[in-house]
């Protein structure tokens, strides 16, 4: 890297100044925007749209569309993160990607809304995923860029909570206020951009000096997307822990709409998803920020990850054993309490094992493959489990086992308490 002054190098420095409440609030709104745009179609709009297009093949169609979209996410997120790391200009490295990705994702949602074939929906959802994952690359990195370690889990608790609240708000709007599939996509497109604007417009960030931007070399650039787990074992174990816990979460939630309809026989599965999500989010809200504050105060992360994996596994066991509405409510409460802890503490843990400050967004993009990758794998695993290995009992048993293994592997991380 070329020689740079101390002021120039500040863009890569470990943050020490606490961030203000307004900064956290506006980043949380941007996070809410991207996850509302991600999760509401997966849980509500895509199942409704595909059920109308192909009632007999809806399970396979949903698996195909969400799997292809997740594959696009796997590729787009680290690439966008790598380009964010090398973005120069007075607006900084992250905000152009938040706004640009939000606009592109909104366009993809609008395109998806107008489709009347499974192939058309798949293309539209892939376009939306590409834009939204570029936005996600910008949204997830400011915590590592700007938030000191003593505040990191607490801030992560607020932004992590928005992941759950995004589905609540999106489900509420698309099942109670704006009930049409096309208008639901349109509303999400507008909110994706609008909720990102406060952070983009009101909070500056240190720009990357041009002399610190590495020269473009395609081979080096592509090779940089691989972070060797042998050279950086803590990063590798953190990635695997997140992958397995998110795989368990994906297995448990991907078919929730159909689980309520076909196993629980709930009369209005769309409203049922909304109710369960509200319960889930309220319980996550009760644990996320307090657990983050406690983790920051204690300076410990791993014990909280183990705890949350145990709690989430219990929720999956409840769903495996009891296909009733009261059991689903209880499982939602238990799962929310566990996942709230996970959202706060795991994100803080991950920011402590990043190999290079100059590649934060790229490395977090690689980490985010552990979020989107399970969305590719889960449909391939869930559909045959439901069909041949015990139906929803087999599915939620697998969910519990995968989640538990993921939590226990966190002990292999040595550089974080």
Tell me the DSSP string of 352-380.
TS-S-GGGHHHHHHHHHHHHHHHHHHHHH
Radius of gyration of the chain (CA): 20
Task: Answer yes or no: are the C-beta atoms of 244 and 256 closer than 8 Å.
Answer: no
Q: In sequence order, what E strands does 210-364 have?
A: none
Contacts with 306 (C-beta within 8 Å, 6 or more apart), sequence order: 407, 408, 410, 411
Per-residue model confidence (pLDDT) at position 1: 43
* Rounded distance between C-alpha atoms, residue 302 and residue 350, angstroms: 11
Task: Answer yes or no: are the C-beta atoms of 139 and 3 closer than 8 Å.
Answer: no
pTM for the structure as a whole: 0.82
Please name which of 166, 162, 185, 55 lies closest in space to residue 115, comparing C-alpha atoms: 185
Our measurement of the distance from residue 227's CA atom to the centroid of its chain's CA atoms, rounded to an integer in Å, reads 20
∠47-49-51 over CA atoms, to 5°? 65
Please name which of 265, 394, 267, 221 lies closest in space to residue 321, comparing C-alpha atoms: 394
Per-residue model confidence (pLDDT) at position 168: 82
DSSP for 135-172, written as a single string = HHHHHHSHHHHH--HHHHHHHHHHHHHHHHHHHHHHHH
| CB neighbourhood size of 29 (10 A) | 17
Per-residue model confidence (pLDDT) at position 216: 66
Give mean pLDDT in consecutive 10-residue pieces for the chain, a chain of 417 residues: 50 88 96 94 91 89 89 90 90 95 98 96 97 95 92 90 83 83 95 97 90 76 83 94 90 83 90 85 88 90 93 95 96 91 88 88 88 77 87 94 94 90
* Rounded distance between C-alpha atoms, residue 341 and residue 11, angstroms: 30
Task: Answer yes or no: are the C-beta atoms of 84 and 97 closer than 8 Å.
Answer: yes
Q: Domains along the chain?
A: 19-202+224-412 (1.20.1250.20)
């Amino acid at each position: 890297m070329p020689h740079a002054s101390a002021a120039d190098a500040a863009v890569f420095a470990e943050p020490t100044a606490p961030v203000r409440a307004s900064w956290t609030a506006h980043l949380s709104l941007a996070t809410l925007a991207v996850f509302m745009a991600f999760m509401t179609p997966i849980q509500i709009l895509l199942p409704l749209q595909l059920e109308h297009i192909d009632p007999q093949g809806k399970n396979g169609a949903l698996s195909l569309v969400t799997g292809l979209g997740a594959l696009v996410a796997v590729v787009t997120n680290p690439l966008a993160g790598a380009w964010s790391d090398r973005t120069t200009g007075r607006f900084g490295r992250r905000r152009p990607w938040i706004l640009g990705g939000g606009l592109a994702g909104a366009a993809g949602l609008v395109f998806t809304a107008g489709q009347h074939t499974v192939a058309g929906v798949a293309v539209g959802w892939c376009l939306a995923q590409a834009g939204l994952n570029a936005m996600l690359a910008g949204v997830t990195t400011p915590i590592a860029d700007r938030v000191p370690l003593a505040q990191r889990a607490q801030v992560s608790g607020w932004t992590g909570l928005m992941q759950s609240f995004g589905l609540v708000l999106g489900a509420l709007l698309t099942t109670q206020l704006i009930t049409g599939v096309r208008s639901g996509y349109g509303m999400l497109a507008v909110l994706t951009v609008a909720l990102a604007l406060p952070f983009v417009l009101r909070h500056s960030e240190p720009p990357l000096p041009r002399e610190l931007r590495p020269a473009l070399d395609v081979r080096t650039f592509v090779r940089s997307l691989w972070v060797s787990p042998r050279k950086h074992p803590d990063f590798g174990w953190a990635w695997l822990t997140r992958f397995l816990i998110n795989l368990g979460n994906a297995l448990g939630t991907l078919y929730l709409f159909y689980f309520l309809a076909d196993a629980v026989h709930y009369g209005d599965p769309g409203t049922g998803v909304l109710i369960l999500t509200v319960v889930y989010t309220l319980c996550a809200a009760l644990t996320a920020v307090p657990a983050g504050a406690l983790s920051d105060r204690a300076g410990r992360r791993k014990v909280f990850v183990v705890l949350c994996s145990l709690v989430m596994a219990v929720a999956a066991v409840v769903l495996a054993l009891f296909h009733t509405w009261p059991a689903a409510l209880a499982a939602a409460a238990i799962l929310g309490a566990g996942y709230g802890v996970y959202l706060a503490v795991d994100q803080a843990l991950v920011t402590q094992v990043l190999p290079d400050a100059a590649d934060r967004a790229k490395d977090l993009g690689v980490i985010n493959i552990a979020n989107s990758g399970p969305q590719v794998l889960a449909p391939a695993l869930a559909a045959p489990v439901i069909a041949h290995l015990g139906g929803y009992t087999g599915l939620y048993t697998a969910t519990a086992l995968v989640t538990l293994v993921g939590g226990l592997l966190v002990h292999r991380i040595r550089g974080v308490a």
